[in-house]
Amino acid sequence: MTELQRDNNFQWTGEVVECESGIHWGIAEQANGIVAILVNSPGGVLTGKQVRVLAEIVGEEGVIKNTRRMATLLLIPKEKVGAALESLHAAGLRVANLHGSVRNIAACPGKGFSPNSRGDTLGLANELDEAFYGTILPWDFKIGISGCPRNCTGVQCNDLGLMAEPRGKYSLWLGGSESGFNPKHGKLIRKGIIREQIIPIVKRILETYASLVEELGAELGEGAQARLYHVLEKTGFEQFEKAVEEVVLSNTIVK
Ligand code: SF4
């Protein structure tokens, strides 16, 4: 099984962002020459203090845009990028990635906010972010969390989706994709997962994904950027279902 490695060491050269491990960090020149910096914000949550920092970076007339993955996009001139990265770092904010790792985790407001919610979503998004931010993967890995079957985050359209059930449990879907010409719904893999097993289960899924991409190699296509659904088209779900089952039966928990 491929052991997961993490890396968030990247350099802004003044022109482009470089990262030896191959993660594509979200600092990219746009068609109009402005640079977009993607700020990591699991579940789309920022504190007032953090919003003030972002407002200071872009200035009074500057633009901050939210993305569909609930990250925050700062649009600034290239010459301001170095100083902006320093301000983000000082405020404890991190740059989100575009490719090659777990993307900014999308989550609906969930318990404590939405009256419909069956369970926590934002706390879980933070835990997953802490556990897997900067994990080196074959390509993007999108995680979405919904607090109830109204499913405002569209969990089936993520590589990995979690939906809260009553009594602190979660259902798990795998293999969805919302983008491209052939979007897919993921498959329901298991219901009734206790909260404490989610981190170990996600870890095993990421390890299985990375291992299978290594094994399949050229079978996935020359130079292919292998999302989870590409792998599943070759292997089916069995190895992933087995990995989840093993964690559940081994009673591995994270508190
Ligand atoms: S998915 Fe459910 S809990 Fe989450 S915001 Fe929508 S209605 Fe509320």
User: CA-CA-CA-CA torsion for 40, 42, 45, 48, nearest 10 degrees?
Assistant: -40
Task: Tell me, yes or no, whether 58 lies in a domain.
Answer: yes
End-to-end CA distance of the chain: 24
191-219 pLDDT, tens digit each: 999 999 999 999 999 999 999 999 998 88
| Number of domains forming the structure of the chain | 2
Nearest CA to ligand 1 atom 4: 147
Q: Which of 46, 70, 99 is the last residue of a domain?
A: 99
Ligand 1 atom index nearest CA of 117: 3
Query: What's the helix, strand, coil split of the chain in %, to 5?
Result: 35, 25, 40
Q: Are residues 146 and 234 in the same domain?
A: yes
Specify whether the CB–CB gap between 223 and 217 falls below 8 A: no
Task: Tell me, yes or no, whether 113 lies in a domain.
Answer: yes
User: CA-CA-CA-CA torsion for 22, 23, 26, 31, nearest 10 degrees?
Assistant: 30
Structural domain including 110 reads 106-250
Going from the Cα of 99 to the center of ligand 1, the distance in angstroms, rounded, reads 28
120-172 pLDDT, tens digit each: 999 999 999 999 999 999 999 999 999 999 999 999 999 999 999 999 999 99
Going from the Cα of 114 to the center of ligand 1, the distance in angstroms, rounded, reads 6
What is the pLDDT at residue 68? 87
Q: How far is C-alpha 227 from the chain's CA centre?
A: 13
Going from the Cα of 87 to the center of ligand 1, the distance in angstroms, rounded, reads 33
Element (H, E) at 231: helix 228-235
Q: Are residues 48 and 157 in the same domain?
A: no
Q: Which of 68, 99, 130 is the last residue of a domain?
A: 99
CB atoms within 10 A of CB 3: 7
What is the pLDDT at residue 255? 66
Q: Who wins on pLDDT, 222 or 70?
A: 70
Going from the Cα of 155 to the center of ligand 1, the distance in angstroms, rounded, reads 11
Q: Crossing angle, helix 198-216 and helix 122-132, to 10 degrees? A: 40
- Taking the CA atoms of the chain, what radius of gyration do you get in angstroms? 18
What is the pLDDT at residue 254? 75
Mean pLDDT, the chain, rounded, equals: 94
Nearest CA to ligand 1 atom 5: 108
Specify whether the CB–CB gap between 7 and 17 falls below 8 A: no
Q: Given ligand 1 and candidates 151, 152, 163, 170, which is best to mutate, with the most ligand atoms within 8 Å of its CB? A: 152
DSSP-assigned letters across all residues of 43-64: GG---HHHHHHHHHHH-TT-EE
Ligand 1 first shell, C-beta below 6 A: 108-110, 114, 116-117, 146-148, 150-152
State the average pLDDT over residues 14-36: 95
Side by side, the strands of the sheet bearing 35-39 are: 27-29, 35-39, 72-76, 63-66
What is the pLDDT at residue 160? 98
Q: Which of 52, 83, 99 is the last residue of a domain?
A: 99
Q: Are residues 131 and 218 in the same domain?
A: yes
Q: Write the CATH number for 232.
A: 3.30.413.10
Ligand 1 atom index nearest CA of 121: 4
Q: Are residues 226 and 124 in the same domain?
A: yes
Joined together, the tokens standing for residue 99 give 């490719």
Q: Are residues 75 and 118 in the same domain?
A: no
Ligand 1 atom index nearest CA of 153: 1
Task: Tell me, yes or no, whether 95 lies in a domain.
Answer: yes
Q: Crossing angle, helix 238-250 and helix 228-235, to 10 degrees? A: 100
Task: Look at residue 74 and tell me whether its pLDDT is greater than 90.
Answer: yes
